[in-house]
A and B are shown apart, each in its own frame.
Chain A
Amino acid sequence: MTCDEANVLMHALIDGELDATRASDVEAHVAGCQRCAAELRQFRKMRQAMAGANLRLAAPAALRSRIEAAIPAPVSRAPQPSRRFLLQGFAFGTAFSAAAAASVVFFVTRSGEDERLLGDVVSAHRRSLQAEHLADVRSTDLKVVRPWFSGKLAAVPPVIDLAGQGFTLVGGRLDTVDGQPVAAIVYRRDDHIINLFVGVAGNADHTAALGETVQGFNTQRWNDRGFRFIAISDMGTDELRDFHEKFETGLRAGA
């Protein structure tokens, strides 16, 4: 075997693409040729360095969203009427659910995309904390915050006063989660900020709250009255669960 041949074949050797016979031919040549042996060492080292480096690039989130949006969504099964929903007799004729039913904006609920959804929520939460852009309307008065949202979204989100329960209303703003415009209602307890993202759900079902920790933040998400809620904060799991309960109770009380 000549050096020129060995210089090509040694790459196939490095890549594990040579059969045993050819591999031993190359190795025999390298064993007797100092220069080719040095080459092989160098290329092996280079390959190792490349394999150890992260040379891949992550697709931008916007590109991912565009592609996901272009693939038809799975057909959702007909929603089962929830027992709680029936018992409480929440009428479909209210402004909330009518708007929800008329809306074509759905939060994505497929489990495979939950991770991305939550990642988006974390980003939106972080953004709100860093850029001094916590609230477009700043007020502890829901008579100020609630009307601010009207006309800005497909349905006016419920804003509830929870000051008596230890959660102070800070204000509200519009944000984007999962490519959809959503309301962000901001509450505070001590030093902890809660962003409550409210989007329109595909149906009026009530779902139990699901708590997850993502990138160090606690989240609680649930559906109720045609809305999809996602609360996120750096407060403890129990505290955030408490927030969810207080919010639901307040919503039920018609606050």
Chain B
Amino acid sequence: MMLAGRRRSSGARSAMAGDVHDPERARRFREAALPHLDEVYTLARYLLRNAADADDAVQECYLRALKHFHTFRGGPIRPWLFAILRNTCKSAYGQRRFAGQELAEDAVPLWSDPQETPEAGVLRRCDEQSIRDMVSALPGQFREAIVLREINDLSYSEIAEIVGVPIGTVMSRLARARSMLRTAWLAIEERAQ
């Protein structure tokens, strides 16, 4: 969506389209996009939950991004790269690996579960690998929201644009994702005790 929306239709521009060999453009792309490789890779790993697939998706993402770099209109490049990565993941790996088990948007929210003692759940420090595992275990749309927000540091409106949903949906997915994370977090503590 994003790519199509940003593409210019002027003849001169489209003549340039896909000219990945233009050295000046390649240089600008290199400087703008390569510094974010780790972040793009991080997102791919969390979305696909498989290192080999993430490798392929990130490489494909950068090739596509270079090819479509003329459609990038400036501003922060990260959301643009993330959107391309997301599309790459979706088209290449389909719904199955990309999203994992989906929950309906209107499924009963976990936060409605009455807490017996609200003060009881004191979140302790959790090691990094445990947090990564908990994030990875979230269902697709919630995992995506929490990774874009907490790990890639995007704003709600940036996430909304990448995912293609209203800001309110981003907000409710984040609320839901954090509730699930908290449940997992507290479960780890119970095991630890």
Interface set of A (CB-CB < 8 Å, partner B): 4, 7-12, 15, 17, 34-35, 38-39, 42-43, 45-47, 49-51, 53-60, 63-64, 66-68, 70-75, 112
| Total B residues in contact with A, Cβ cutoff 8 Å | 50
Stretch at the interface among B4-12, B82-90, B92-100, B169-177: B169-177
- Cα A246 to Cα B22 in complex, Å, equals 43
Q: B residues within 8 A CB of A56?
A: 38-39, 42, 151
B190 to chain A, nearest CB (A): 15
Contact sample, A vs B, 22 pairs, CB 8 Å cutoff = A4-B109, A4-B112, A7-B109, A11-B171, A11-B175, A15-B156, A17-B156, A17-B171, A43-B182, A46-B185, A47-B150, A49-B125, A55-B42, A56-B151, A58-B41, A59-B58, A63-B55, A64-B37, A68-B34, A71-B34, A72-B26, A74-B27
**Is the CB–CB distance between A11 and B178 below 8 Å?**
yes
- Cα A12 to Cα B175 in complex, Å, equals 9
- Cα A50 to Cα B133 in complex, Å, equals 12
Q: A56-B39, A71-B62, A74-B23 provided; 10 other pairs, C-beta below 8 A?
A: A4-B112, A8-B175, A34-B118, A43-B178, A49-B123, A57-B38, A59-B58, A67-B37, A70-B59, A75-B23
**Pick from A51, A55, A68, A112: contact of B135, CB under 8 Å:** A55
Residues of chain B from 119 to 133 with CB closer than 8 A to chain A in the complex = 119, 121, 123, 125-126, 128, 131-132
- Cα A12 to Cα B169 in complex, Å, equals 12
Known contacts A46-B178, A72-B20: does B150 contact A63 (CB below 8 Å)? Answer: no
Known contacts A38-B118, A58-B41: does B34 contact A51 (CB below 8 Å)? Answer: no
Q: A residues within 8 A CB of B131?
A: 49-50, 53, 55
What DSSP secondary structure best describes chain A's contact surface? Answer: helix
Count A/B pairs, Cβ under 8 Å.
119
Interface set of B (CB-CB < 8 Å, partner A): 20-23, 26-27, 29-31, 34, 37-42, 45, 55, 58-59, 62-63, 66, 109, 111-112, 115, 118-119, 121, 123, 125-126, 128, 131-132, 135, 149-151, 155-156, 171-172, 174-175, 178, 181-182, 185
- Cα A10 to Cα B178 in complex, Å, equals 11
**Pick from A10, A17, A39, A57: contact of B45, CB under 8 Å:** A57
B174 to chain A, nearest CB (A): 5
Residue in chain A with minimal CB distance to B66: A71
Residue in chain B with minimal CB distance to A110: B30
Q: B residues within 8 A CB of A7?
A: 109, 111, 175
Known contacts A50-B131, A71-B66: does B118 contact A58 (CB below 8 Å)? Answer: no
8 smallest CB-CB distances across A and B, nearest first, come from A38-B118, A59-B41, A72-B26, A8-B175, A53-B128, A11-B175, A56-B42, A57-B42
**Is the CB–CB distance between B118 and A39 below 8 Å?**
yes
Q: B residues within 8 A CB of A38?
A: 115, 118-119
Q: B residues within 8 A CB of A66?
A: 59
B13 to chain A, nearest CB (A): 19
Q: B residues within 8 A CB of A73?
A: 23, 26
**Is the CB–CB distance between B118 and A72 below 8 Å?**
no
- Cα A57 to Cα B135 in complex, Å, equals 13
**Is the CB–CB distance between A55 and B41 below 8 Å?**
no
Q: A residues within 8 A CB of B55?
A: 60, 63
